[in-house]
Structure 1
């Protein structure tokens, strides 16, 4: 499994970027390749797909966007190409809001998404997104008290949700949550995790 790729953008094509990693070139399919500049150093969280006829690597600027891509793949009839097109047509925030608000009109504007696919997105993902605390449709996100040490993805989303509610963007919140977890000497409660993440953001 390839978890991430860090290197320099060698060149861009219509659906992928070529990343130079110490002289080795990786073809990484990304949403909106031309948002990256040639010569730019990038860090992409990746999803690796192995098929009988190909091995494909998909990359995203944040782990959260990569995890949303993986959630989209859980929907019946949605493959990597379709999921990538959705993330190219909308920001993660817009896509999640449309699903949570059951906004069929907005979802069907995405390339390759008809009414049936839009309905499956809502049916399969609305509750999952709520459970994972991806509540972008709300102006504020309540914190759930948790005295047990959080270790799973859902707990991390609670921390990120709290940071988003305080005005940080998705990339900043994702970075702070990860760094706080990595730098902790022992398991953290959700409240401790949030405090440590805020301390890191103030020092940044």
Structure 2
């Protein structure tokens, strides 16, 4: 198993990055390749999952260990393959995903590409209670009960509505997929504030 690759980032494209180390360029498939754009031609370390099947060997890469770990957990769910697992990681944070699983929020889970009600139920069945280590301590202690005003589900809804608003302004699905993880890190009071923050982040790119 190749746990990580450290080397110079030489290529960033729509689906992958290339990291050169010791004269060898490793193509690494990523959920959000452009998240690495700022490190172009610099040395970076990417956590990798070496996916091996009879007819293929593929490296999947992640910025954080928890993203890699969640990817591995998702592959064990019936109906979820590497592309589906990457689509989930590209669309949400680990914390929000775990919260959705623990709250059995099928509406949230079925928003991911290729995830229907059957697959959402399978994810809940296979993963509930097994991912709590990735929730903040306070959330663990409260057994995933939240005040409506500050709940993770309310935040997800605000981010979703903000991205829909930005889509109406002409931003592409690819741009908005890359933007979602950044907005998830923000703590805005309402949808309008998330839209303003999203526009600010787009202008920085």
**Deviation of residue 92 (structure 1)?**
1.2
Change (3 A) 1:9 1:118: same
**Deviation of residue 134 (structure 1)?**
2.9
- CA deviation profile, 1:119-147 (whole Å, cap 9, x unmatched): 111111012224xx2335953649xxxxx
Change (3 A) 1:136 1:117: farther
- Normalising by structure 1, we get a TM-score of 0.63
Q: Quote the residue 1:16 is aligned against.
A: 16
Could you tell me how far apart the structure 2 residues matched to 1:136 and 1:80 are? 27
2:115 counterpart SS class:
coil
Q: Quote the residue 1:86 is aligned against.
A: 88
Change (3 A) 1:138 1:100: farther
Q: Is the 8 A contact 2:104 2:124 kept in 1?
A: yes
2:60 counterpart SS class:
strand
Could you tell me how far apart the structure 2 residues matched to 1:129 and 1:6 are? 28
Unaligned runs of 5+ in 2: 143-205
**Which structure ranks higher in relative contact order (CA pairs < 8 Å, sequence separation ≥ 6)?**
2
Could you tell me how far apart the structure 2 residues matched to 1:85 and 1:108 are? 12
**Deviation of residue 52 (structure 1)?**
2.2
Change (3 A) 1:55 1:136: same
Unaligned runs of 5+ in 1: 143-204
Q: Is the 8 A contact 1:100 1:122 kept in 2?
A: yes
| Residue from 107, 111, 115 that aligns with 1:109 | 111
- Normalising by structure 2, we get a TM-score of 0.63
Task: Decide which moves more: 39-48 or 98-107.
Answer: 39-48
Could you tell me how far apart the structure 2 residues matched to 1:93 and 1:140 are? 11
- CA deviation profile, 1:70-117 (whole Å, cap 9, x unmatched): 111111111111111110111111111111111111111111111111
Q: How large is the RMSD of aligned CA atoms in angstroms?
A: 1.9
Could you tell me how far apart the structure 2 residues matched to 1:84 and 1:138 are? 28
Q: Quote the residue 1:171 is aligned against.
A: none
Is 2:47 the partner of 1:45?
yes
Could you tell me how far apart the structure 2 residues matched to 1:135 and 1:35 are? 23
